Amino acid sequence: MINWNAINWTALIIFAALFLLVTVIGFVAARWRRGDLNNIQEWGLGGRSFGTLITWFLLGGDLYTAYTFIAVPAQVFASGAIGFFAVPYTILVYPFIFVVMPRLWAVAHKHKFVTAADFVEGRFQSKPLALAVAFTGILATMPYIALQLVGLQAVLSAMGLSGSGIVGDLPLIIAFLILALYTFSSGLRAPALVAIVKDALIYITVLAIIIYVPIKLGGFGNIFGAVAQHAQVTKGFTETLSSDPSKGNSMWAFATLAFGSAFALFLYPHSVTSTLSSNSGRVIQRNAMLLPLYSVMLAFLALTGYMALAAHLHPATATGAVPALVNYAFPDWFKGVAFAAIGIGALVPAAVMSIAAANLFTRNIYKAFFRPNASIAEEASTAKITSLVVKIGALIVVLAIPVAQAINLQLLGGMWILQTLPPVILALYTRWFNRWALLVGWAAGMVYGTFTMLQPLFNPTAFGLPANGGKVLSTVPITLGSMKLNGYVALDAVVVNIVVAAVLSLVLNLARVSNGNDVTKPSDYVEAEEPVSPTEIGAAPALAE
């Protein structure tokens, strides 16, 4: 039951008002840039019509999720400097976007590909390989959606909306049902418009925190001093990174986590969906130059983990660090604004993720294997229904398992999705890899990575954990000569994947095993230059929506 006396009614009313605003925007979005929403190109990709400004809001809202705003500070709060790996990885990814993603956009636009798996099937004429990519995308996305709910759950609890049983879970269920309905109605247009409100609220909240909270705590000198004291008495907390093997090789873990996460980020289906919704490859490149603004915000946001330590806050779990800091520092009315920013920050990525998963299921499973002659309208209706099922599945995951285990599952997501790098990213540049070798390499990487990361769940005592304390490992020790380094498992797994695929491709190519027909040609990977109208020369209409 909910303890009604514990509810912060001022914060809750402001939160509800802002939530109602974005709900209205979500439903109105169906009328924005009118298109036939019974066509998956319109419902699932917004008609591929978004310009620079809308794409910037959508990508920012899609990539910088509620989990980011909860989990990055939580990692810093619980473990120290290692949590800052999220900052360089979001910087490393932008050159990757600038160079690679316009190629994917160009070929997808030419052949009307909706998903990365569509491209793989067209490139290699291989339904099994496309199925592997689609399955991996859906698998990696499900826990990611669930973790948006974890973020929403954290802010609802901070306002006093927590309790036991179905009544305690009711606010979370209602919030996600509303999201499900307006996503069903408006498709990708809904999160694209809602992202504008979400990003504005997030920037206001972050600016308020980084200016006001340090003043309240006596300045950043006091904050870092408190962190240093905490590091001296807390086992496993890293005030600074270390290259000493006896101290856990936090530098190597930091570097591999950043590098692996950077490569994984734009392989996620929701990242691909937001990218393909752009109206040109040039829009993607402009966004690769503009999106680092979010990285600046993320760097400041990560510092809130240290601020929570300096304020001597003791949330029930690390994920409550930012909500606890907001409750500690701000008046009730601003708490409502801040919690709405995080809560709405859960809705945008959850909507895009569910749409992306629905696109994959519809195009690369349902249509490919069950209804190859499905009409355009049937495709769209199947995607809409699937998006509802995906959200309900994520809701069940969060309600049925402990939050810590939901977070553990997300650690697997980055490793899983990275295994699609060879058939998707490498295939944008070469068909040297044989389609069957790519499939075997994918399987090898998936099995190795999953087994390695899940070992402690089945044998925790072998890893120095209590019998009931098994957890997913994101980093494991590897030996290079005399050095023992802790590295991100996803990188190890994708190396296994690529090596297996390369060796097997060499054998199969020598044996002249068919690599399927390629429906693309080299010119498809370069965006066609269009004549520039007089109104576009030297003016801002390129940014106009």
Residue-level pLDDT at 535? 40
Q: Which residues pair with 479 in a beta bridge?
A: 484
pLDDT digits (tens, 9 = 90+) for 19-30: 889 889 888 887
Alpha helices in 311-401 (DSSP H): 321-329, 332-361, 376-400
Domains of the chain listed by start with CATH number = 4-26+48-418 (1.20.1730.10)
Which stretches of 176-332 are assigned E, i.e. beta strand? none
Pick from 11, 5, 83: nearest CA to 340: 11
Distance CA 413, CA 141 (A): 7
Q: Which residues contact 342 (CB under 8 A, 6 or more apart)?
A: 66, 69, 70, 151, 152, 154, 155, 202, 205, 322, 323
Distance CA 408, CA 454 (A): 10
Contact in structure between 476 and 452 (CB atoms under 8 Å): yes
Q: How confident is the model at residue 241 (pLDDT cuts 50, 70, 90)?
A: low
| Alpha-carbon distance values, 7 to 11, 152, 158, 297, 314 (Å) | 9, 16, 9, 30, 19
Distance CA 150, CA 154 (A): 6
Task: Kindly tell me if the per-residue pLDDT of 538 is higher than 90.
Answer: no
Contact in structure between 285 and 98 (CB atoms under 8 Å): yes
Place of tokens 């609890």: 157
Average pLDDT along the chain = 83
Distance CA 474, CA 320 (A): 22
Is pLDDT larger for residue 166 or for residue 376?
376
Residue-level pLDDT at 164? 58
> 187 phi and psi, to 5 degrees?
65, -145
Task: Kindly tell me if the per-residue pLDDT of 96 is higher than 80.
Answer: yes
Pick from 137, 82, 202, 18: nearest CA to 386: 137
Host H or E run for residue 307? helix 292-310
pLDDT digits (tens, 9 = 90+) for 452-463: 888 776 665 555
Q: Which residues pair with 476 in a beta bridge?
A: 487
Say what the pTM is.
Answer: 0.88
